[in-house]
Structures are given as C-alpha cells and as structure tokens.
Amino acid sequence: MDAFITHTGTAAPLRRSNVDTDQIIPAEYLKRITRSGFEDGLFKAWRTNEPDFVLNQPQCAGASILVAGPDFGTGSSREHACWALLDGGFRVVISSRFADIFRNNSTKSGLLTVLLPQPEVEALWAAVEAEPALPVTVDLQAQQVTYSPGGGQGVTVPFRTDEYTRWRLLEGLDDVGLTERNLPDIEAFEARRPSFLPKALPVI
Amino acid sequence: MPKTLAEKVYDAHVVRSADGEPDLLYIDLHLVHEVTSPQAFDGLRAAGRTVRRPDLTMATEDHNVPTLDILSPIADPVSRAQIEALRKNTREFGIRLAPMGDRDQGIVHVIGPQLGLTQPGMTIVCGDSHTSTHGAFGALAFGIGTSEVEHVLATQTLPQYRPKQMAVTVDGELPPGVSAKDVILAVIARIGTGGGQGHVIEYRGSAIEKLSMEARMTICNMSIEAGAKAGLIAPDQTTFDFLQGRPHAPQGADWDAAVAYWTTLQTDEDAVFDREVHIDASLLTPYVTWGTNPGQGLPLTGSVPDPADFADEDERRDVEQALAYMGLTAGTPLREIKVDTVFVGSCTNGRIEDLRVAAELLRGKHIDPDTRMLVVPGSVGVKAQAEAEGLDRVFLDAGAEWRGAGCSMCLGMNPDQLKPGERSASTSNRNFQGRQGKGGRTHLVSPSVAAATALTGKLTAPADLTTVEV
C-alpha cells in the first residue's frame, strides 16, 4: 500500500447522501480477479445516465478529492469500491459519516477517508462549487484540511484519525506483516481454545 | 464488571491487547466465496504466505452461480474465470470447497448455520457484509474487505477496535402476517442506514425470544443495512435445538461442555448499552421500501412520501432523487404500485421457513399473469428439503419459477436480473439503484408480502388477500 502523508488537489462536490458501494462500483465489475483497473466502473450508472452528474463536468476532470454527503460507502463490503476510487484518481474522500466497512477498507488500501462535521462539508462544497480549480490540501501529518477560497484568507479544518491507523498510513504499512510479529501470542491463544469448537473439514 | 453478550464474545477472543494499538482478535471461522477472495489469495502468493488454519476456513460458490442449468459450464466467461480461480485457490491452499452441484453448496450465510458450523460465542468473518446473519446464534460475525480476508487467511486473526454497544428491544406479540423482515425494516426506517455505525446491535425482548432461528437470521442479516458492524441475539433453547445433530455441531461430552458455555452467553443484568431503541411488536404491520436505500421504508398501508414534507434540504433532494429513479409519484398508495417481478430468495429470506410461508399463500392459486415470480432456495440443502415437502410443486403449479441455489437476483451477478425500468418486490436486503440489474427498481418486502404481491401483481399484504379477488 502507498504511504499517505499529504495531498493537494482539486475537489469534486458530490451532493448526495447514502452513496452505496453498488453506485461506486456495480456488481458486474466484481467478477474480475485483479486488484486494479476498476476506473471504468467507477460511478458507472450515474456517469452513464446523468449528464449533470458532477464527475461528468469538465471542471471536475482532474479531481483527486471527493467531498460527499453523509453515509458514504454503505452496503456491500467490496473493497473494490476503494480500488475503483483510487484507480479513478482519488486519494481522499471527505464526508460527515462513513459506513464502517468502507472506512475500514480504505485504511487497508491507502485511500484516506476524512471525517468532517457536516457544516464543514457544506462550506467546502460551496467553496469548490464557486471555484472548481481551488487547490485543497489534506495533510495527514498535521491532521488538517486547508484551502483559501478566492485566494483570500486560508481556511484550516482539523480532523482526527486514530493514532495507530495514522501511523500505518503515513508509513504505508500493511497489517499482515505487523500481525506476524505477534505469532507467539496467536500460538498461545490457539493452545487454549476449547475442544468443542468446530472444524470446517468435511464430515464423513 | 457487567458485560453485554457482544463484549463477552469479543473479550474471549482477544489474542493481544496493547495501549495505542487495536486489539488482535482470533477468528473461529472464516467463510470464503468467489467474489472477494481472488485478490487475497494473490496477495498470499506474492508474499510467499500460506493459509494458517485451512481447517477453520470454508469456501463455497454463490454470487456468480447460474440458477438454471447448473451442471453446464457457466456461459459468462468472466464469471467462469472467477469460479475457476476459487477452485484453483482452494485446491492450492488446502481449503474445503462446496462447489456448484455439491450437496453443501449455497449462499455462504445459509450453509454455515445449515452445517452447524455457526455456533454461539464464535467469531465469524467473511468477505461479505451480510456475515452479520450468523449473529442469530450469539456469534460475533461481521463482514470484511479483501485486505482483511488476506489477513485472516494468513494469521487467523484481525486487528479490531472495541465496538460500541446498542440494544434494540422488541417486546410484545407480532400480529399475524407480520414477520422478522418487517421488524428489521421497521428498525432501519427508525434509526436510519447510519444509525448503527460503530455499534454491535443486540436484539432482545420477548418478541425476539419467540422467533425461530430462521427469523432471527433474517433480523441479524440486515444489521448492516442499519449501518451496524454486527447484530446478535443471545443463544437459548431454540438455538440449541436448531444446532443439535447438525454435521458440525459438538457431540457427546463436547455437546454438554458447549451448552454449559453457551448458556453463559447472556448480557449481564447491569450491563450498559451506549444506545437503546425500543419497538412495540404489536404495533408493527407489513413494511415495504419505496426508495433507493433500505431506510426509505413505510408500512404497506402508507403512501409514497412527498419531498415537500421534508424540511431538511439535503433530505428533500435525496427523496426527489429516489422517487425519480423509482418512477413513483408522491401520494400514490403503496398498495397501488404494480410490480413486474417477485423474487423470493437471498441470505435474508432464502431459508426453508421463508419458502414455506410463501408456498402456503400460493397453494392452489395462480400468480398474476403479468407477473414473473422467481423462487431461489438459499442452498442445495434448502432446495432438497423444500422438494421433499412438495413446495417446488406448489410454486410451479402457481406459475412461479423454481431455481437452483445461489445469491441470484439479490445482486444480479448471474443472469437473474431486472431489465431497465422493471420493478420488483424482493425478499432480499438492498434496494440500491441498479442492484438487481441496470435501471431495475426494487421494493424490499417479506416472503409473505412477496407471495401476496405475486398473486395480485401489486404490492399486497397477506391480510389484503381475503378482500381481493385473486
């Protein structure tokens, strides 16, 4: 997984709540067995059926920060949703509420999810709608989002990420290697598991 | 310190706990299917890792499988390649697989309980959000993404943060014709699709205690639609009776030891929940969703809501978008909505009891001539049992289609899909845009509402049938 330290880019305002993972990447794309190349399926239905859809707008063409309504990423556990956003050029999603599994998946795939209060999301929507080329910086080291509407006074919005996840993202570390350091603890736990617990092996 | 049921199960699985780190949780059972696992196996291979506990891992084919002509090669080459990848991976890593045609094949959340692999007090994960289903047995069961699938394959553990605790208490007597599906749709309509975020929900109360295991699974299944990490129900005699004698249930002295332990899996009297919700079962009626997320539901006696009635601007916009997609006009009575397709099946309502309920309403009758009805058993085992009971004949005689086992039209990864603009009454769990096929429109309902709807061609409660000419 790529490390995430700080990112500056333009933002796309997605004024919808309950953006489920079926919208982010429809099920038909999940038949693939690769981990990349999902950009063609990103928001496929909305991009196809809705000319006004924000990501169809030329001013959002290079956007790398998605600013979405509450309850982003509900539904299916498909990590393909994170991969599709990354493949589509996004490094950050900002929302006031994320579905748990989506948020968890994002921390495993190097997509930064930033939780901001809804009024801050609204302010950012207004700013980027007024000025689509506005550079927005998301700094995981400092845990803040910064932007300067109209070239004027900068806005700084702090956010929180749990320290452990922040460290992992800053270092670009994957969990399996970290867990393997604790192998003796796993072996000790296995030694004391009750004997009545089931095995998945076939019963003849 | 008094603990909730979920806290007891969580604490019993902590391998390691350290300040400033997530807990490392042991996983008792890892269920695998073809869609979310290929990249995880690739990850293992790339790192030269093995599967730590193949004996605690089981795989099946469910999402992609056709429900017609199941013994022929899959026509869709991309689906076929994914199934073949699962077969290759399970062979290479020594994992048991129930492939298409196997007597144990079926939707992953139907076969776990059916085989007795799902037991109280266990931790169970799967790369599928409806893993919460297994919570019906008092297990802590939750869906994970592909990176976590790889992590569990490699280490049989997961780094986890302690979830918050929510109680949903349902007391009183469910009226006739009102089922577990209506309970959970009502819960989601009440707390919203994000209401359970960060929480594990324990369903409790006299109405829950009276439910069968199948009904409890329906409720826990849709915990994810309420945004919760997991949902569970304390095990009791109903749970033990369901499990006893199943292939993987403990036997002899192991059974006694297990029951003695399972009996302790109750929330302590003084345990504190972070949030509590109370529902009076006697006030519930059949529910149906009208919109494009599972929280957009109403009693079937209601009408399509008017966006103008929503004060919040964002909410009004969401309702407008949902109605536009669903092709509905504000104020239309829900009972007047005509459907094209009825789907009975899925990990929510594809078990034997669901099929019995639907068959009873159809027995000796014929479905509406303009309506297609698809009945898809959740597993080969459910299919065999239904056929032994003659339910397949009831469905076929009524004009419904009787299919092979799989996820089918719940998410349309196989050929069972809605066409653009088609409308379904579906016993599945998600009414998202395009979920059942591009441009398809989904109304989530219970099995009895689905069957009643098939008879009339319009959204119908079973109680309406006595007054409707069929």
Alpha-carbon distance B265 to B6, whole Å?
A: 9
Instruction: Check residue B70 and give its pLDDT.
Output: 79
Contact status, residue B227 vs residue B190, Cβ threshold 8 Å: no
Contact B250 A198 (CB under 8 A): yes
Instruction: Check residue B298 and give its pLDDT.
Output: 98
B11 touches chain A (CB under 8 A): no
Contact B257 A176 (CB under 8 A): no
Mark which residues 280-299 of B lie under 8 Å from A by CB. 292-293, 295
Alpha-carbon distance B390 to B383, whole Å?
A: 10
B28 touches chain A (CB under 8 A): yes
Give the count of Cβ contacts less than 8 A between chain A and B. 207
> A202 pLDDT exceeds 90?
no
| B263-272 pLDDT tens trace | 999 999 999 9
> B200 pLDDT exceeds 50?
yes
A100 CB neighbours in chain B (<8 A) are 197-198, 227, 229
Q: Would you mind telling me the total number of residues written for chain A in this entry?
A: 204
B51 CB neighbours in chain A (<8 A) are none
Q: Given CA atoms B300, B303, B304, B305 in this order, what sign does their dihedral have?
A: negative
> B470 pLDDT exceeds 70?
no
Contact B36 A79 (CB under 8 A): yes
Contact status, residue B373 vs residue B396, Cβ threshold 8 Å: no
A69 CB neighbours in chain B (<8 A) are 314
> Per-residue pLDDT averaged across A144-156, rounded?
95
> Per-residue pLDDT averaged across A122-129, rounded?
98
CA atoms within 13 A on the CB side of A151: 0
> Per-residue pLDDT averaged across B157-165, rounded?
97
CA atoms within 13 A on the CB side of B116: 21
Contact B39 A34 (CB under 8 A): yes
**Which residue has better confidence, B132 or A152?**
B132
Q: Kindly state the DSSP code that residue B36 receives in the 8-state scheme.
A: T
| B217-264 pLDDT tens trace | 999 999 999 999 999 999 999 999 999 999 999 999 999 999 999 999
Report in angstroms the alpha-carbon separations of B219 from B212, B348, B436, B441.
11, 8, 21, 23
B47 touches chain A (CB under 8 A): yes
Mean pLDDT of chain B: 97
Probe site for chain B from A22, A24, A33, A121 (most B CB atoms < 10 A): A33
Percentage of residues in chain B having pLDDT higher than 70: 99
> Per-residue pLDDT averaged across B430-451, rounded?
98
Question: Token match 């310190």: residue?
Answer: B1
Alpha-carbon distance B262 to B94, whole Å?
A: 31
β-bridge mates for residue A12, sequence order: A66
Q: Nearest CB to B151: which of A69, A175, A193?
A: A175
Percentage of residues in chain A having pLDDT higher than 90: 96
For the question of an ipTM over 0.90, the answer is: yes
B435 CB neighbours in chain A (<8 A) are 22, 27
| Beta strand pairing call for B287-289 and B297-299 | antiparallel
Alpha-carbon distance B126 to B115, whole Å?
A: 16
Instruction: Check residue B153 and give its pLDDT.
Output: 98
Alpha-carbon distance B322 to B309, whole Å?
A: 15
Of B73-77, B187-191, B430-434, where does mean pLDDT reach its minimum? Answer: B73-77
Mean pLDDT of chain A: 96
B150 CB neighbours in chain A (<8 A) are 176
Alpha-carbon distance A41 to A24, whole Å?
A: 8
Contact status, residue B278 vs residue B207, Cβ threshold 8 Å: no
Q: Which helix (H) or strand (E) holds B444?
A: strand B441-444
Contact status, residue A145 vs residue A116, Cβ threshold 8 Å: yes
Instruction: Check residue A14 and give its pLDDT.
Output: 97
- Helix runs in B312-390, H state only: 313-326, 346-349, 352-362, 380-388
- Helix runs in B138-236, H state only: 146-155, 180-191, 206-209, 213-221
Alpha-carbon distance B322 to B292, whole Å?
A: 6
| B101-148 pLDDT tens trace | 999 999 999 999 999 999 999 999 999 999 999 999 999 999 999 999
Q: Which of A161, A70, A160 is nearest to A122 (CA)?
A: A70
Entry pTM? 0.97
Q: How far is B12 from chain A (nearest CA, A)?
A: 10
B151 touches chain A (CB under 8 A): yes
A82 CB neighbours in chain B (<8 A) are 145
| B319-363 pLDDT tens trace | 999 999 999 999 999 999 999 999 999 999 999 999 999 999 999
> B468 pLDDT exceeds 60?
no
| B4-60 pLDDT tens trace | 999 999 999 999 999 999 999 999 999 999 999 999 999 999 999 999 999 999 999
Alpha-carbon distance B167 to B159, whole Å?
A: 24
A184 CB neighbours in chain B (<8 A) are none
B194 touches chain A (CB under 8 A): yes
Instruction: Check residue B348 and give its pLDDT.
Output: 98
Question: Token match 């490699």: residue?
Answer: B154
Q: Which two tokens stand for residue B313?
A: 């601007």
β-bridge mates for residue B288, sequence order: B298
Contact B255 A82 (CB under 8 A): no
Q: Which two tokens stand for residue A119?
A: 């009024």
| Beta strand pairing call for A136-139 and A6-9 | antiparallel
> A26 pLDDT exceeds 70?
yes
Instruction: Check residue B69 and give its pLDDT.
Output: 86
Mark which residues 297-356 of B lie under 8 Å from A by CB. 314-315, 317-318, 321
Instruction: Check residue B466 and give its pLDDT.
Output: 77
Probe site for chain A from B193, B225, B265 (most A CB atoms < 10 A): B193
Instruction: Check residue B79 and give its pLDDT.
Output: 93
Q: Nearest CB to A27: which of B29, B54, B412?
A: B412
* CA-angle at A29, arms to A27 and A34, nearest 5°: 130
Split at pLDDT 50, 70, 90, the class of B467 is low
Alpha-carbon distance A116 to A120, whole Å?
A: 6
Alpha-carbon distance A159 to A143, whole Å?
A: 5
Contact B249 A75 (CB under 8 A): no
